[in-house]
């Protein structure tokens, strides 16, 4: 039978510690909240008060329950106040020597049967535990910020943690209404091990001027449905905290270069640019602690005038291709008022594309998202052809054919001969080098990447990819067209994966490596990223949807271009693809979809 915890101690009353106090007190458990000094106690008390007052204001907590919650909390300066608690959770800054000193003192102060827990997000629970004479009663209980809201708790056992201690803590998590995943003591555990490699990679993109901070964040929010972009998330976490986590993971996790903090990160920490807590990080905030971003000297102009500056006039658009992507692109251009010429190989395919566009527009009418008159007008703007010659008078061509470089190069060579001067030629490739396509023409300055996302009529993001030969006018034209389509354009260089795939697929590959190492289950890893990081899908759910073969192909391209050892495709991923386990499309991937 699980142990009953009636009184819990919390050491450290920063944002995380105060949130943990609130979690326990909300669930009827008495809390002794400890800080090093009276001023620190008052700051912790104020943090708890602000949080509970917000909950009351939002209707998520009754005023009477708030008052009862506060009555369960006793604030005290010094660890001696914890002499009779059943469990202590330490939530001080991520410094091993500090935590070891605290645990040595807790070992002296607390009763022999008291469980000692650390909320560390990256340090070794084992190294913390050896500062005590009871390492078998030391465990990691890693809450996520904000603790009262986030459902996940990582329960971290060492090689000597007693099984009954693990069971008692798991039962406690259930009592708190949390979902726990129990794992062994490894650098970064699940969530941070997957999250911080991705965050560090995003900082590297920004440092190298590959894309702006706004475009990197918009790409991941709109392209992947993430609650925050990576740079905004770094500001929320705190750049000093992020640096410590990355540095610890690099030193303890096999010295993977992708976890070595990007130099810019250390420079910003040294300069005191710590994110929201200091009022400035990757973004500038209204005041320290405020979530409100204010313009600064690095904020780009994003007005319609700026987007249109240098853009060429576009009235007629050619779309080449017959797949789902081409169909969606035809629809969005026609609905936006452009005259569209659809070109396919043969009139039979042309008829199929026409029917697919009609079906999609009719669905819009049925769902009340499109008026019948607007549907008819959109269809009236589209003409259908089986020859490229009908593109002689268009202003923009968007290619959406198969992802084979030889096919695209041959197509662009033909377009170069047929299209009038000044026409912007765009490829929708998601993985091939745009420059290779551009150099198949005599007008590489007019060639740009327009990477739409599926389903195109719904997804709001377009990656505008400029090569080293793309003219500023062609880029400006692409951005202006995206704005006219109601899409958000993010501009980046011509590098494998662009923004979204370059950040997304290494994260998915890391999750496969974690599963391959038997560190955790696919279900627990998915739970960790959904409940701990707010992701709409776990990595294995997403891999099954995307297709394991697609993920492997993109990861191979990233590895071949960047030559980063950490980007090498996970052997398990390669084996599953070889065996025909491709995800939902084969009804077998990381999960069995045969019943669906």
Report how far residue 116's alpha carbon sits from residue 135's, in angstroms, rounded to the nearest whole number. 9
Token couple for 457: 């009529």
- Is 208 marked active-site? no
What DSSP element (H or E) covers 405? helix 405-418
- Is 414 marked active-site? no
Report how far residue 505's alpha carbon sits from residue 542's, in angstroms, rounded to the nearest whole number. 10
Report how far residue 218's alpha carbon sits from residue 445's, in angstroms, rounded to the nearest whole number. 26
Report how far residue 431's alpha carbon sits from residue 47's, in angstroms, rounded to the nearest whole number. 47
CB 172 within 8 A of CB 5: yes
Torsion of CA 529, 534, 537, 540, to 10 degrees: -10
- Is 564 marked active-site? no
Distance (Å) of CA 496 to CA 163, 476, 558, 564? 47, 22, 6, 13
> Among the residues of 59-110, which ranges form H helices?
63-71, 96-109
Nearest to 185 by CA among 118, 140, 153, 144: 140
φ, ψ dihedrals at 425, nearest 5°: -105, 120
Q: Please identify which of the residues 35, 51, 94, 142 carries the catalytic annotation.
A: 142
146 preceded by cis ω (within 30°)? yes
CB 91 within 8 A of CB 73: no
- Is 142 marked active-site? yes
Report how far residue 551's alpha carbon sits from residue 507's, in angstroms, rounded to the nearest whole number. 11
Report how far residue 127's alpha carbon sits from residue 129's, in angstroms, rounded to the nearest whole number. 5
Report how far residue 184's alpha carbon sits from residue 78's, in angstroms, rounded to the nearest whole number. 31
CB 140 within 8 A of CB 154: yes
φ, ψ dihedrals at 552, nearest 5°: -65, -40
Nearest to 153 by CA among 127, 171, 165: 171
Q: Please identify which of the residues 122, 129, 192, 501 carries the catalytic annotation.
A: 192
Distance (Å) of CA 506 to CA 11, 198, 204, 512, 517? 36, 8, 14, 10, 16
Q: Please identify which of the residues 51, 119, 121, 350 carries the catalytic annotation.
A: 121
Q: Please identify which of the residues 35, 90, 154, 463 carries the catalytic annotation.
A: 154
Q: Residues with catalytic annotation? A: 121, 142, 154, 192
């Amino acid at each position: 039978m699980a142990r009953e915890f009636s009184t819990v101690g919390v050491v450290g009353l920063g944002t995380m510690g105060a949130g943990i106090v609130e979690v326990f007190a909300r669930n009827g458990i008495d809390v002794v909240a400890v800080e090093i000094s009276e001023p620190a106690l008052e700051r912790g008390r104020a943090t708890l008060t602000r949080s509970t007052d917000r909950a009351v204001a939002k209707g998520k907590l009754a005023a009477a329950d708030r008052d009862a919650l506060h009555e369960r909390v006793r604030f005290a300066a010094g660890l001696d106040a914890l002499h009779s608690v059943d469990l202590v959770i330490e939530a001080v800054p991520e410094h091993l020597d500090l935590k070891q000193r605290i645990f040595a003192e807790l070992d002296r102060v607390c009763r022999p049967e008291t469980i000692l827990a650390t909320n560390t997000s990256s340090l070794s629970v084992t190294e913390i535990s050896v500062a005590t004479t009871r390492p078998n009663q030391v465990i990691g209980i890693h809450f996520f910020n904000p603790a009262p809201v986030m459902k996940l708790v990582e329960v971290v056992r060492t090689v000597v943690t007693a099984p009954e201690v693990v069971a008692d803590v798991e039962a406690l998590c259930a009592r708190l209404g949390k979902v726990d995943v129990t794992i062994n003591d490894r650098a970064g555990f699940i969530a941070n091990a997957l999250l911080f490699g991705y965050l560090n990679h995003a900082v590297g993109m920004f440092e190298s001027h590959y894309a702006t901070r706004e475009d990197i964040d918009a790409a991941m929010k709109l392209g992947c449905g993430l609650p925050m972009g990576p740079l905004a998330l770094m500001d929320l976490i705190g750049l000093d905290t992020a640096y410590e986590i990355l540095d610890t993971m690099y030193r303890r996790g096999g010295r993977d270069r992708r976890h070595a903090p990007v130099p810019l990160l250390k420079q910003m920490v040294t300069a005191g640019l710590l994110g929201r807590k200091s009022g400035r990080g990757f973004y500038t905030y209204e005041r320290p602690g405020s979530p409100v971003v204010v313009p600064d000297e690095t904020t780009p102009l994003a007005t319609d005038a700026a987007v249109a500056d240098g853009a060429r006039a576009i009235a007629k658009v050619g779309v080449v291709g017959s797949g789902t992507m081409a169909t969606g692109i035809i629809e969005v251009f026609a609905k936006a008022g452009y005259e569209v010429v659809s070109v396919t190989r043969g009139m039979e395919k042309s008829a199929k594309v026409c029917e697919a566009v009609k079906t999609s527009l009719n669905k819009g009418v049925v769902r009340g998202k499109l008026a019948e008159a607007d549907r008819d007008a959109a269809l009236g703007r589209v003409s259908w052809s089986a020859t490229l010659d009908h593109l002689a008078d268009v202003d923009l061509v968007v290619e959406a054919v198969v992802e084979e470089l030889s096919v695209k190069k041959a197509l662009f060579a033909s377009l170069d001969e047929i299209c009038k001067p000044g026409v912007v030629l765009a490829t929708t490739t998601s993985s091939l080098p745009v420059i290779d396509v551009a150099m198949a023409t005599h007008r590489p300055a007019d060639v740009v990447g327009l990477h739409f996302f599926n389903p195109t009529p719904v997804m709001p993001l377009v990656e505008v990819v400029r090569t080293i030969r793309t003219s500023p006018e062609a880029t400006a034209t692409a951005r202006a067209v995206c704005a006219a389509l109601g899409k958000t354009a993010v501009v980046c260089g011509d590098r494998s994966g662009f923004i979204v795939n370059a950040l997304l697929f290494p994260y998915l590959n890391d999750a496969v490596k974690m599963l391959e190492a038997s560190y955790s289950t696919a279900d627990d890893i998915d739970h960790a990223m959904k409940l701990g990081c707010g992701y709409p899908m776990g990595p294995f759910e997403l891999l099954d949807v995307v297709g394991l073969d697609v993920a492997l192909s993109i990861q191979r391209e990233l590895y071949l271009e960047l030559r980063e050892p950490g980007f090498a495709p996970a052997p398990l991923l390669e084996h599953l693809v070889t065996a025909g386990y491709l995800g939902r499309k084969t009804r077998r991937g990381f999960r069995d979809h045969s019943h669906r």
